[in-house]
């Protein structure tokens, strides 16, 4: 599992003549510190990522999305720590470093049609949208799907589609997709429906739990790896293992499609 040091919530006195409130200025400074930490962690994992810096449009998108708007209650004070946070229903908002890396691996950008599996609170969705990608997102939990759709609309992401359904089945009405990004770990293999809905030349980013794992004194931790699956123009796929990761499980067989 790749993780970084924790950021402490920042506070700041407003500058004379500043239009920002105390809370807004504090969030802005915390976000800037988080971006520096992400850049440093990318550098430290460059041998695994195959690059020492992410695409500028990805970092710009990370800078624009207010992560504190995607969590509630006491979690807002922790919004700019570089770690996942609970969002209810047994789900989490992903670690910012991981959000940035997965967005970069998906090559999200202007005009790229992206399917996101696992909307959650909508944070990854917003980052994808900020790159200029056309985003369709599928969430299994109705309460999360409804809340994310409302939040994204409130924050100005009007062109994002959020649907409730079994993400392992993808979203056939919008296929094929230039990129598919999955925010939960599949067991053993990439769901075939997602491979079918990936366009030739497309990229699929997904954590997969492999057999084996690490057994400790009191627990067993399965091994997960982040895969980049590329499909060539003839429809053949190639997998590359990028990073060891830890994600909540992808629940398959959760029902049909819902608009």
pLDDT tens-digit readout, 87-130: 999 899 999 999 999 999 999 999 999 999 999 999 999 999 99
Q: What is the mean pLDDT of the chain?
A: 87
pLDDT of residue 223 exceeding 70, the answer is: yes
With CA atoms as reference, report the closest residue to 33 among 72, 4, 54, 57: 4
pLDDT of residue 22 exceeding 70, the answer is: no
Lowest-confidence range among 145-149, 178-182, 201-205, 217-221?
217-221
What's the burial of 252, exposed, middle or buried (CB within 10 Å: 0-12/13-18/19+)? middle
Of all residues in the chain, what percent carry a pLDDT higher than 90?
78
Lowest-confidence range among 9-13, 49-53, 204-208?
9-13
Stronger pLDDT, 4 or 99, i.e. the higher one: 99
Q: What is the mean pLDDT of residues 84-89?
A: 93
With CA atoms as reference, report the closest residue to 32 among 82, 86, 91: 82
Stronger pLDDT, 161 or 22, i.e. the higher one: 161
Q: Where are the domains of the chain?
A: 22-258
CATH superfamily of 22-258: Vaccinia Virus protein VP39 (3.40.50.150)
With CA atoms as reference, report the closest residue to 195 among 170, 225, 161: 170
Stronger pLDDT, 216 or 155, i.e. the higher one: 155
List active site positions.
94
Name the band, by pLDDT with cuts 50, 70 and 90, for residue 224.
Answer: very high
Name the band, by pLDDT with cuts 50, 70 and 90, for residue 28.
Answer: confident
DSSP strands (E only) in 2-108: 85-88, 91-93
pLDDT of residue 220 exceeding 90, the answer is: no
Helices (H), 159-254: 192-197
Stronger pLDDT, 205 or 7, i.e. the higher one: 205
């Amino acid at each position: 599992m790749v993780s970084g040091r924790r950021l402490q919530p920042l506070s700041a006195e407003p500058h004379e003549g500043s239009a920002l409130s105390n809370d807004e200025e504090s969030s802005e400074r915390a976000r800037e510190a988080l971006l520096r930490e992400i850049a440093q962690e990318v550098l430290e994992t460059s041998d695994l990522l195959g690059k020492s810096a992410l695409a500028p449009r990805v970092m710009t998108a990370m800078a624009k999305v207010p992560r504190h708007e995607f969590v509630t209650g006491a979690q807002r004070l922790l919004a700019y720590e570089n770690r996942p946070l609970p969002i209810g229903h047994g789900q989490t908002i992903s670690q910012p470093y991981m959000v940035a890396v997965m967005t970069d691996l998906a090559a999200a950008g202007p005009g790229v049609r992206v399917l996101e599996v696992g909307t959650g609170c909508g944070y990854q969705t917003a980052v994808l949208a900020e790159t200029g990608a056309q985003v369709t997102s599928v969430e299994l939990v109705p309460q999360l799907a409804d809340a994310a759709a409302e939040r994204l609309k409130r924050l100005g992401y009007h062109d994002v589609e959020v649907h409730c359904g079994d993400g392992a089945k993808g979203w056939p009405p919008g296929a094929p997709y230039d990129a598919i990004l999955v925010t939960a770990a599949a067991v053993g293999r990439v769901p075939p429906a997602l491979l079918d809905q990936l366009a030739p030349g497309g990229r699929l980013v997904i954590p997969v739990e492999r057999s084996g794992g690490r057994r400790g004194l009191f627990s067993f931790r399965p091994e997960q790896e982040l895969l980049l699956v590329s499909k060539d123009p003839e429809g053949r796929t190639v997998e590359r293992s990028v990073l060891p990761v830890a994600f909540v499980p992808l629940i398959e067989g959760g029902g049909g499609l819902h608009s």
